[in-house]
Chains A and B, each alone.
Chain A
Amino acid sequence: MEKRVTFRGWLLPLALIAPQVIISAVFFFYPAGQAVWQSLFIPDPFGLSSQFVGLGNFEFLLSDKYYRASFVTTAVFSTLVTLCSMIPALFLAVIADRLIKGSGVYRTLLIWPYAVAPAVAGVLWLFMFNTRVGVVAWYLSQLGYDWNHVLNDTEAMGLVVVASAWGRISYNFLFFFAALQSVPRSVIEAAAIDGAHFWRRFFTIVLPLLSPTAFFLLVVNVVYAFFETFGVIHTITGGGPQQATTILVYKVFSDGFVGQDLGSSSAQSVILLIVVGLLTVIQFKYVEKRVHY
C-alpha cells in the first residue's frame, strides 16, 4: 500500500529516519555482525589474540552433549509453558464469556499477573516453594511429600514452568476472551435451537472459530518461553540442578558472561538468531493465512 500524496525532498526524510537507523546500526546490526564474526574464532586464554577456526565452534557445539541437552530442555520447557498458559486461559475465558455481568471485574483482576515481571514472578514462586520457609513446600511435607527443587530435576523444571506460565495466563486470557466475544451469537443460537448442548457447541463451532487466535498465541508463547523467561530461571534455579533448567538463552549468558567462552557463546547467539528468524517467518507467513476463519 502506498500513499498517493507525498511530500517532496529527500534530505528531510533522511533526517527523520536517521535516529532509528543509527540506533539500529549501532545496537543491533553491529553486535549481530560481531556475533557472527566472533563465532568463527577461538580466543586464546588471555584474550590477546584469537585463532580462526571456521565452523569449528559450531561443530563443537553440535557434538557437545551439554548443548544438545540444552536444546531438549528448551523444547520441553517451551512446550510445557505454552500448554500450561494456554489451557487454563482458554478455560477461564470460556467461563468469563458465559457471564453477562461481572466479567469486567474478573478481567481486571486476571490482568494483574501480566504486569508482574518474569523475574518478580520467579521470586514469588520461589518463596512459596522454598525448601525452608515455603508455604506450599511445608504443606507438601505435611502430606509426606518431600519437595526439593534444588536437588530434584523434575521439580525444578515444574517450578520454572509454572512460574513462567503464570503471567502468560493473563495475556492468553485477554486474547481468548476478545476472540470469544466476537463469535456471532446468531450462530450459537442456531445450534442451540437445533439441540446442541454447551460442550457440543464449544467443540464444533466455537473452537474452530478460535483457531486463528489459538495459533497466533501458540507462536507468541513459544517465542516468550524461548527468550523472555531468563528472569524466571535466573531467580529460581540459576539453570540447575546441574543443567536441568538451562535453556538456550540461559546458556548463552552462562557461557558468555560466567564462563567467558566468547567463541562458543557467539556461535550459540548465531544459532539462536536462526531460531528467532524461523519463528518470525512462521509468525508472519502462517498466522494470518493458514488457519481458517
Chain B
Amino acid sequence: MLVKKIGLALTTTTFLVTSAAAATLNVAIDSSPAGLDPHLITAFNSVVIVQGNVYEGLTDIDAGLNVVPDLAASWDISADNLSYTFKLQSGVTFHDGSTMDAEDVAASIRRVQAEKTASPMAASVMPITNIEIIDPLTIKLSLDEPFAPILSSLATIAIVPAELEADIEALQQKPVGTGPFKFVEWLPNNYIALEKFEGYREAGLPMLDGVKFNFVPEASTRQVGLTSGDYGILPGIDPATALQLQAQPGVKLHDTLNVSYTLLGMNVTRGPLGDAKVREAVNMLLNRDEIIAGALFGAGVPGGPLSPALSAWALDTSEFACYTTNVDGAKALLAEAGIETPIKLSILVLPRQDARDISQVIQQQLAAGGIEVDLVNKEIGEFVQDWRNSNFDMFVSANGGNPDPDQYFYRTFRSGGPTNVYKYANAEIDTLLDTGRTETDQAKRKQAYDAAQRTLACQGPIAHLAYGNLFTATNAKVKGFEIYPTGRLTSLVNVSLDE
C-alpha cells in the first residue's frame, strides 16, 4: 500500500514537472465542481470536466444533436419497442486497467437507479425494468412500455467499473472511466488535472498529453488569461465576454445555437396567472428582440418551447401569434379576462447576470401593459428552495435543454410532473405528452409535439424567451476543437496544440 502511494505521488509530480513542456491544454472555468461522481452531479462544471473526457456512455450526442454510438458499437430495437440489445465495443479498458464489459454497463445502470445513490438522473433510466447480460459484449435492456427518448437518455449515463456499484463515495473524488483522459489530481479552488489515457481504445488519440481545468471566478480575468495565452480555452462563456474576445488577435471564437434557454415561469395558482388569457397577454407584452439585444448582447434567438437547435422538432416562432409584441392586444386580452390593471406581481430572479438584466427589461415591458412587477433577488440556495416549493408568482431563470422533447416536456408540463412547479394542469396536453412518450413512430410523435408546442407557446406556464448562443473561445494555438450544443467538451480528444 505504502509503495503504491509513493508510486502515485511520483507520477503526480512527474506530471506536474513535465506539464509545462508537454502539450497540456489549460481550460478556464468559473468555479470548482461540487464533486465528480457522474451519476450524482449534474452541474455544468462537473459535466464539462468529466463527461466525454473521463467518462463515456453507451451512446453519445453529436454536434448535430443526433444520437450516435459510443461505448455501444451498435444496437437492435425489438419490433414492439420494448427491448434494446446493445453490442459493446471490444477492447475497451477502464483507467484502472480492468476491461469494460456488459457487467459494468449493467452495474452502472443499476447504480443510477438505486435509491441509495440518490441520482438526479434516475428518472431517465427508471423505465428500464430488466437488464440481461447475453455475453460479455452484449446486453439487453427491457422496458415495460415504449420509452422513445431512451437512447438519448443513455448518453448521460456514464459507464463506471462494476465494483463501484455500491460505492457512493469513491467517484466523487477520483473518477474512473473509459474516456480519453485519466484523472490525475484535484486541488480544490485551484484546478483539476487530467492526463492522456495511454490505453484509450482509439489508437493515436488523444493528441494532448493532458488537460488542466483552472477555476477562475472572474470573467474579465478569464478573458485576459485567454488573450495572454495563460489559458487555451474558455468553454461556455457569456455573450459580453464573447463579443469582447471576437476582436482580439490570436483568439478564435466558436459558437453554436444552444439547447439551453432563458424563461419566464408563471405559477398558475397565483392570482390572475391562472387565466390562460393573462399568460398570453404576458407573452404579447414581451419584446423578445429587445430582451436579446439588451440582456444577451444580441447573442441569441427567440424561440418557442423547443430550441431551434432541435430542428427536427421545433416549430418556428412565426407560428406563435403572441410572439409579436402587441401592447394593445395584451390590454384587450386582460380586459377580456376581466382583470383590472394595474396587477401587482413579483418576479423571482436567478442570481446570474443575464437573468438580472432580462428581469429588468421584462419589468419595463410588462409595466406598459399595466402589470407592475417587483424584482425579488435571492441567493441561489434560496432561489432553488423557492423554485422547488412553487413559492413565486413568476421567475426568470435559465435551463439546460435536452435533445429529446419528452425529456423536457413530460416532467415540466404534465399534470403532477416532477418539475411542474408551475402547477400547470391541462388534460389535452397530458394526452399529447403521453402519446409523445410511448409512440415510437417519428411522424406521429412530431404531430403530438407540434400540437403541444402550439398550446404551450402562448398559454403555457412558461414564456420561453431566448435560446442563447453557446460560445467557446480558444487560443489560436488550439487546433481541432469543435463545439457541441450540449456544452460538453467531447472534441478535446481530437485537439492538439501548435507550438
Q: Do A and B associate with each other?
A: no
Interface, chain B (partner A; CB < 8 A): none
Interface, chain A (partner B; CB < 8 A): none
